[in-house]
Amino acid sequence: MNATNLIDTEQRLGAHNYKPLDVVLTRGEGVYVWDTDGKRYLDCLSAYSAVNQGHCHPKIREAMIEQSARLTLTSRAFRNDQLAHFYEEVAALTGSHKVLPMNSGAEAVETAIKAVRKWGYEVKGVPEGKAEIIVCADNFHGRTLSIISFSTDPDARAGFGPYTPGFRIVPFGDADAFAAAINENTVAALIEPIQGEAGVIIPPAGYFTRVRELCTTNKVTLILDEIQTGLGRTGKMLAEEHEGIEADVTLIGKALSGGFYPVSAVLSNSEVLGVLKPGQHGSTFGGNPLACAVARAALRVLTEEGMIENAATMGEYFMDGLRSIRSNIVKDVRGRGLMMAVELEPEAGGARSYCYALKDLGLLAKDTHEHTIRLAPPLIITRAQVDWSVEQIARVLGT
């Protein structure tokens, strides 16, 4: 089938829960992907940071092939020879005390919600059924029923009730509002270090320092959702490092497998994950040997090949280039590391048409919240590739 036929078949047989750009990709290598007609594109989305290491990284692929020939799945009814090594290496890189492997980012979020509620009842002494978790407006933590119950995005939430109770929503970046929301039943706060889906929204300096202090003082578990911001995307292993804080629970996923396999993890101090007993939570595929082998390789190449340092250097260089574009339709350019956004003025008519224009020039980016173009290339991007990208963006946005 050609691209038109493939798109038509998707539209006819698939649920219409996505609205992708009309490009049909068939191959990827490094920062590039190719469509079914052989046209090459520079990928400036990286599957929402899942392919931080670049498409089809050969060392991760080798680990996957090797492990797939040995053992792929045992379930957690038995032990496997990859899980302990995975625990050890993740804990060493992130400073975590306990690790609970899952599959998707949403599963990691759901796991954290379950564990911290149980911790609230058994350790903090909150009355059964009264636990509250503070979350932020404009958040994006996934699309399961419990998660969309505390979403403020009408597209994600409307029409799916009744909703899961137990969440208190406050404005992102407002430490005073956060402080006012804490009460005797507050067991946790669940926050993204940078709100990616909302348009790469960065909180004011000092916000997380105060949030950390408030959580410590009030015995509230600080959960940071680093599924998109973690594993090098912002120029640090974890985005929390930019403010010099440590979360009590950290959620990672996406780049944990370099885009080869669904792998996520809840990282925690022993007190929170320590409340879970056999039979209370799990997943058939969580912690399977194939996932562990792939994740171990993905973490190795991140550190051994200097990708995190490159994200910091190239991110600053990319941002300088974006800010140099002369345009009367650009409202704001913001970002940290290689997690960036260009917000357009309302009179520009929305960001999607500009993403299509960039596609035609060979650069793939994603529109979000109507007026914002998200940019997040693989962490292996070079200076020359950044220059080329900025040139294409200037051609589309420049006036």
* pLDDT 10s digits, 177-195: 999 999 999 999 999 999 9
DSSP state letter for 113:
H
The verdict on 338 and 350 lying in the same domain is yes
Identify the pLDDT of residue 398: 85
Average pLDDT over residues 54-68: 98
Alpha-carbon radius of gyration of the chain: 21
141 and 194 together in one domain: yes
Choosing from 304, 324, 345, the residue where a domain stops is 304
Confidence band, pLDDT 50/70/90 cuts, at residue 324: very high
Q: Give how far the C-alpha of residue 104 lies from the chain's centroid of Cα atoms, to the nearest Å.
A: 10
User: CA 246 to CA 237: how far, in whole Å?
Assistant: 12
> For 293-304, what is the mean pLDDT?
98
Q: What distance in Å separates the CA atoms of residue 60 and residue 293, rounded to the nearest whole number?
A: 9
| Domain termination residue (choose one: 279, 304, 329) | 304
| Residue 399: predicted pLDDT | 64
Residues 233 and 370 reside in one and the same domain: no
Indicate if 288 and 311 belong to the same structural domain.
Answer: no
Could you list the residue range(s) of the whole structural domain that residue 374 is in?
A: 3-57+306-397
249 Cα distance to chain centroid:
15
Q: What is the CATH number of the domain that holds 211?
A: 3.40.640.10
Domain end call among 304, 328, 363: 304
Say if residue 281 is in the same domain as residue 336.
Answer: no
The predicted structure's pLDDT at residue 77: 96
Identify the band that residue 367 occupies on the pLDDT scale cut at 50, 70 and 90.
very high
User: Which residues, in sequence order, are CB contacts of 214 under 8 Å at separation 6+?
Assistant: 175, 178, 179, 182, 220
Segment holding 303, helix H or strand E: helix 289-304
User: What are the pLDDT digits (tens) for 114-141?
Assistant: 999 999 999 999 999 999 999 999 999 9
Same-domain status, 84 and 17: no
- Give me the number of domains the chain comprises: 2
Is there a single domain that holds both residue 293 and residue 191? yes
Q: In what order do the strands lie in the sheet with 40-43?
A: 25-29, 32-35, 40-43, 363-364
- Position 75 scores a pLDDT of 96
pLDDT of residue 335: 98
- Catalytic residue numbers read 140, 225, 254
Closest by CA to 330, choosing from 366, 373, 388, is: 373
Question: Does 358 lie in the same domain as 283?
Answer: no
pTM confidence score: 0.97
Query: Is residue 34 located within the same domain as residue 63?
Result: no
Mean pLDDT over the full length of the chain: 97
The predicted structure's pLDDT at residue 270: 81
Q: Is the pLDDT of residue 25 over 90?
A: yes
The pLDDT value given to residue 45: 98
For residues 266 and 358, membership in a common domain is answered with no
- Alpha carbons within 13 angstroms on the beta-carbon side of residue 128 total 0
> Based on the domain organization, do 27 and 151 belong to the same domain?
no
One domain for residues 215 and 82: yes
Tens digits of residue pLDDT in 147-175: 999 999 999 999 999 999 999 999 999 99
Contacts of 251 (CB under 8 A, 6+ apart): 105, 108, 109, 112, 223, 224, 225, 226, 227, 264, 265, 266, 267
Predicted confidence at residue 196, as pLDDT, reads 97
What does the buried/exposed string (b/e) look like for 257-288 if buried means 16 or more CB atoms within 10 Å of the residue's CB? Answer: bbbbbbbbbbbbeeebbebbeeeebebebbbb
| Contact by Cβ (8 Å): 236, 248 | no
